[in-house]
Structure 1
Amino acid sequence: MDMTARWAMPMLFAGQAQKEIFHNEALVRIDALLHGRVESADVATPPATPELGQCWIVAAGATGDWAGQTGSVACWTDGGWRFVPPRAGLSIDVADRGHALFHDGSLWRDALVQADGLYLEGEKVVGTRQAAISTPAGGAVIDAEARSTLAAILVALRTHGLIES
């Protein structure tokens, strides 16, 4: 076996010539993936003047040097473009989206937690914290059960941080 199973990093062998080349290639991949961040996941054409270390998730319809690399993480290095095919579980922050994408083994998907809330199956289920709601008081007719229920709902919302206390 000359590559690691998950990320295809080159392995070193006893007596191998030019080990530094293989070692450096592995470091480039680690640098791209460890706490990774890409500029965008919506670009199909390589940028004209990328900076060293910048990465992108190659969008569908890729052209130029990115042709045939759709879905891969493309990183600009001093040796040119390096492509890393994603594996299930890879999570990477996307600068122009403001949240991470994760790879499910087949597709890149939006992260469940984003700046504006929690999403399940692409639908926002919990949003940003809202202003405080005062506990019910007063009124001409007092319904103790309704007031108790409303108070319990407010306690739950405050406990979970969904509204301010």
Structure 2
Amino acid sequence: MSDTTSRLSLPLVQPGQAQKESTHNEALAILDIAVQASVLAVGTTVPPADPDLGAAWILGAAPTGDWAGHAFALAAWTAGGWRFVVPREGMMVWHGGDRHIVRFSAGTWASGVMSGTNVTIGGQIVVGARRPAIANPPALLAGATPADSDARSAIVAILDALRGHGMISA
């Protein structure tokens, strides 16, 4: 039997273990950091001198002091001192300072980047797959009359694309 869980490295109570409450409390402390995580800053490398209880940070590539050896981890100040959570691929954290999501991907934290196939608001897709390019209307020759049909077709194509993306009403 492993000593920790596979995803969050939570300590497991072992058969016949004394002081089971210590293992249980350590697991709760880690869950408190990792579940619905929220941090004050991203990429920090120097621990604060007097952190508030429960305050957390995403560490940079070369943290120092009490944070040394915990690159890119979540660090949180608890009643028992510093606790660290190693990020997993796809882990998302709320960055309170910038007020957006930070996501761990390919070994680093990406700030404010979201990916998906569409954006839906109120059940309506407002941004979907990219539409084909719309050609510019042909240039008018000197002395020529406006090519009303071509201009109208281009405007209709633009409006159709905006409707298709949900950016204007149908």
Q: How does 1:1-165 map to 2 (within 5 A)?
A: 1-113=2-114, 141=146, 143-162=148-167
1:151 counterpart letter in structure 2: V
TM-fit CA distance, 1:142: 6.7
1:150 counterpart letter in structure 2: I
Q: Secondary structure at the match of 2:151?
A: helix
Over the aligned positions, Cα root-mean-square deviation in angstroms equals 2.6
Provide the C-alpha distance between the structure 1 equivalents of 2:69 and 2:40, rounded to a whole number of angstroms.
19
Provide the C-alpha distance between the structure 1 equivalents of 2:156 and 2:100, rounded to a whole number of angstroms.
35
TM-fit CA distance, 1:88: 0.8
2:99 counterpart letter in structure 1: G
Task: Normalising by structure 2, report the TM-score.
Answer: 0.71
1:46 counterpart letter in structure 2: P
**In the alignment, is the contact (CA less than 8 A) between 1:58 and 1:69 conserved in 2?**
yes
Greater mean alpha carbon deviation, residues 45-54 or residues 78-87: 45-54
Provide the C-alpha distance between the structure 2 equivalents of 1:163 and 1:60, rounded to a whole number of angstroms.
44
Greater mean alpha carbon deviation, residues 55-64 or residues 151-160: 151-160
Distance 1:52 1:161, change over 3 A: farther
What residue is the counterpart of 2:141 in the other structure? none
TM-fit CA distance, 1:141: 4.8
Provide the C-alpha distance between the structure 1 equivalents of 2:24 and 2:79, rounded to a whole number of angstroms.
15
What residue is the counterpart of 2:135 in the other structure? none
1:81 counterpart letter in structure 2: W
Distance 1:16 1:71, change over 3 A: same
Q: Percent identity over the alignment?
A: 42
Provide the C-alpha distance between the structure 1 equivalents of 2:14 and 2:43, rounded to a whole number of angstroms.
39
**In the alignment, is the contact (CA less than 8 A) between 1:87 and 1:105 conserved in 2?**
no
In the alignment, structure 2 segments of 5+ residues that lack a partner are 120-126, 128-144
Provide the C-alpha distance between the structure 1 equivalents of 2:57 and 2:91, rounded to a whole number of angstroms.
14
**In the alignment, is the contact (CA less than 8 A) between 1:102 and 1:109 conserved in 2?**
yes
Provide the C-alpha distance between the structure 2 equivalents of 1:95 and 1:163, rounded to a whole number of angstroms.
32
Q: Secondary structure at the match of 1:42?
A: strand
Distance 1:161 1:51, change over 3 A: farther
1:153 counterpart letter in structure 2: I
Provide the C-alpha distance between the structure 2 equivalents of 1:29 and 1:73, rounded to a whole number of angstroms.
10
